[in-house]
Every structure is written in structure tokens, then in C-alpha cells.
Amino acid sequence: MGPGEVGLAYQWYRSGKAITGATGPTYLVQPADVGKTITIKITGTKTGYKTAPTTSGKTAKIKK
């Protein structure tokens, strides 16, 4: 049995820089993303447990 319900926070990145306002579980690719890579960092939190962040691998460069 695990820790039960865990809070999740999301942050999307464009070539390593946080995308302002991109803090949900999904992200719609934007024109500014063309030629860049995208990653997401998800942080799980629960009182009494260590914070658990993880970052995805990079996408291929976004094409037009």
C-alpha cells in the first residue's frame, strides 16, 4: 500500500526554460516552440513524505 493521494504540480519547459503559465498536466505546442525541445517536471507532494520531483526526457525539436 502506498502513501495514498499525492498532490502533483506541473511545469513545462522550452529548451530548459520554464514556460510562463504552463503549469497543467497537458500542454498545447505553440509557435514559439518550433525548433525547441519540450520537457515537463512533475513534483509529487504529501505531508509527512519527501517531495518527489521528476523530469521527463526531451522531445525531438518541434517542427513547423
Summarize pLDDT for 4-63 with one digit per residue, the tens. 789 999 999 999 999 999 999 999 999 999 999 999 999 999 999 999 899 999 999 999
Neighbours of 64 (CB within 10 A): 6
Note the pLDDT of residue 27: 98
Neighbours of 36 (CB within 10 A): 18
Please report the pLDDT score of residue 1 as a whole number: 55
Q: How far apart are CA 42 and CA 40, in angstroms?
A: 6
Question: Are residues 25 and 7 in contact, defined by beta-carbon separation less than 8 angstroms?
Answer: no
In this model, does residue 2 exceed pLDDT 90?
no
